[in-house]
Amino acid sequence: MTYDETIAYLYDSAPLFQNVGKTAYKEGLANTFALDEHFAHPHRQFRTIHVAGTNGKGSTCHTLAAILQEAGYRVGLYTSPHLVDFRERIRVNGEKISQEYVVDFVAQNKAFFEPLYPSFFELVTAMAFKYFADQRVDVAVVEVGLGGRLDCTNIIQPELSVITNISFDHVQFLGDTLAKIAAEKAGIIKTGVPVVIGEFLPETRPIFEAKAKEVGAQICFAEEVHEVLNHHFNADIGMIYETKSYGELIGELCGDCQIKNTETILTAVNLLTQTGKFLISPNDMKRGFAHVCELTGLMGRWQTLHDSPKTVCDTGHNLGGFQYIVRQLAAQPCRQLRIVIGMVNDKDIGGVLSLLPAEAVYYFTQASVKRALPAAEVQRLAAEHGLHGQSFPTVAAAYQAARREASADDFIYVGGSNFVVADLLKIED
């Protein structure tokens, strides 16, 4: 099979969550253990850092990987979903897995995994761990796919666990209260492995503390460490942080949510260095924070696409993420705010729409995935919240309309879903 045929085979043979949603989800780790044994437990051949949470996982993973790369380590990075290219999910020192490796992995092993009927994520996780072992990485930063306790990445025994935050998302799998969701994500806390909690709430802190106590894990709450002493945004430079342990850091990632992520990352690095297993200097921190996208290939985090009119996209897609996004939008100096938005059908759509500004001009759309809510339905629901605009059948059509109607001093925001941003970046590529 060619590379394109192999990718099509993966999508067709192992249901892809981003396309079909709940039917792609497989509870339990039986397939994961079978695949792991088949490949001779590759995850045991390198150190790992495990990152869970509702929001901020991707930014946290990429920034940690960038810092470790600058410290001289050979770093694997496993994240999801991808935006433009499947190979974004699996990287070593920022370089995507090769097409040849993907083709060979499937061709050589499909006779084994086909009888298992694995999910797409189970199969790709096995591929990632095998690739990192073959590439002889020193450490891999591994993002949880969904939840934590039953996620197929949870077979690793990491040097550090990180849980960024808890808010409502994937409630059909993880539970309909913050405490239930926290319990699922706390499943990555392991015996003797220190854990960083980025943000906590009265409902979630006791869950994390109880789990850490149960397994004898050191627990550290980033919000109580206060590594970030001060911060401000400079449009020409980025987010500038004054920190307790690392002096001034310039963050390439500039969304408001990155302030909380930075607290989490700094606390995580503190714990990593305290173990004595990692040597990370202040200069490694500075270079990692300042060059995350270049070092790791990160896209879609308050990413500026154009300066005139100012055009930004962001992959925030749930209520927790939009609480930061709407503050960022309100802070933009512009003549007219224009919002291109689409969502998928398993999110708290009403909750997100209730946060958005009524004074913006809206371009309602839908991403090219089966889970996308039809643009006309997004438009109808938005009208119930006093948000008005036109609907467009594709992200390209909506985006082009916004660009066409905008003046140089307007501000265009594109988001609502990873998949809206993915469709946009394919246009901009």
Task: Centre a 10 Å sphere on the Cβ of residue 12 and count the other Cβ atoms it contains.
Answer: 10
Q: Report residue 248: phi and psi, to 5°.
A: -85, 130
Judged by DSSP in three states, 161 sits in: strand
Model pLDDT for residues 152-202, shown as the tens digit of each residue? 999 999 999 999 998 765 444 454 688 888 999 999 999 999 999 999 889
The H or E element that residue 414 is part of is strand 411-415
Q: Report residue 152: phi and psi, to 5°.
A: -75, -10
Looking at the predicted structure, is the pLDDT value of residue 51 above 90? Answer: yes
> What band does 238 get if pLDDT is binned at 50, 70 and 90?
confident
Poorest-pLDDT segment among 21-25, 76-80, 100-104, 227-231: 21-25
Task: Centre a 10 Å sphere on the Cβ of residue 359 and count the other Cβ atoms it contains.
Answer: 9
Q: pLDDT value at position 28?
A: 72
Token output for 192? 């003797």
199-216 mean pLDDT: 93
> What band does 24 get if pLDDT is binned at 50, 70 and 90?
very low
d(CA 226, CA 204): 19
48, 143, 179, 185 from 208: Cα distances, Å = 21, 19, 10, 9
Q: pLDDT value at position 382?
A: 97
Q: pLDDT value at position 23?
A: 46
Cis ω for the linkage preceding 81 (within 30 of 0): yes
Q: pLDDT value at position 14?
A: 67
Residue 374 is given by DSSP the state: P
> What band does 27 get if pLDDT is binned at 50, 70 and 90?
low
- What is 49-75 written as a DSSP string? EEEE-SSSHHHHHHHHHHHHHHTT--E
85-91 mean pLDDT: 97
d(CA 429, CA 411): 21
Q: Do the beta carbons of residue 243 and residue 203 sit within 8 Å?
A: no
Domains of the chain: 3-296 (3.40.1190.10), 303-428 (3.90.190.20)
Q: pLDDT value at position 171?
A: 46
User: Which residue in this structure is represented by tokens 């050979």?
Assistant: 74
Q: Do the beta carbons of residue 119 and residue 29 sit within 8 Å?
A: no
Q: How much is the mean pLDDT over the chain?
A: 91
Model pLDDT for residues 102-128, shown as the tens digit of each residue? 999 999 999 998 888 888 999 999 999
Q: pLDDT value at position 20?
A: 43
Judged by DSSP in three states, 48 sits in: strand
d(CA 117, CA 31): 8
